[in-house]
Chain A
Amino acid sequence: DQQVKQNSPSLSVQEGRISILNCDYTNSMFDYFLWYKKYPAEGPTFLISISSIKDKNEDGRFTVFLNKSAKHLSLHIVPSQPGDSAVYFCAAMRNTGNQFYFGTGTSLTVIP
């Protein structure tokens, strides 16, 4: 049973515009959320995270928003750049345990 879901398998955005990637989760015990970026033939790399005690975390062009009541998080990239073209995975952790739960990924294409 998929506890973390990314319902959009792909997204295309013009360079300079905002990219919004969405993620939903079902387990209310999750208290830490992360976004990873993955280029083809490489391992995922950590991008940004957010704790459940916050509703927003910002790092440069990347901002993650968390809506706990809706069990929803989103990643905003602004302005989008061609180098942002990659697959983005969201992940979640419970407040106990060491296991990460990953979504199915969203492939972002930024068009120059």
Chain B
Amino acid sequence: DVKVTQSSRYLVKRTGEKVFLECVQDMDHENMFWYRQDPGLGLRLIYFSYDVKMKEKGDIPEGYSVSREKKERFSLILESASTNQTSMYLCASSIQRDIQETQYFGPGTRLLVL
């Protein structure tokens, strides 16, 4: 059974703080993704990675960076948190797409930036 875990379920940070969101998957998946979910906007892709040390910008990368030093771990970094980054953050993973496969999601981190 695929397991995707996220380091925190809830986080409260102050404007300007540097924030790290960690995601770990245990299924040796090549692909990992970071989304944010906001009411009325659905899931928007921030960044994804298809291999260690590789990253690709998604639809809304501004204000974020990522790190993938190990295959199982994908970190999302908010360099200087702002109130408009208050959101639900979801990490997902999937295998390389040689077959049609689904993404497996973590439980999410609800971030509040004050």
Contacts and interface: CB of A to CB of B under 8 A. Distances in A.
Interface of A: 6, 9, 32, 34, 36, 41-46, 49, 51, 89, 91, 93, 97-100, 102-105
A60 to B, nearest CB: 17
A43 B40 contact: no
Contacts of A98: 31, 48, 50, 94, 96-97
Given A89-B43, A99-B48, A42 B104 contact: no
Interface residues of B, number: 28
Contact of B105 (A32, A45, A99): A45
B58 A99 contact: yes
Contact of A93 (B4, B92, B100, B104): B100
B26 to A, nearest CB: 15
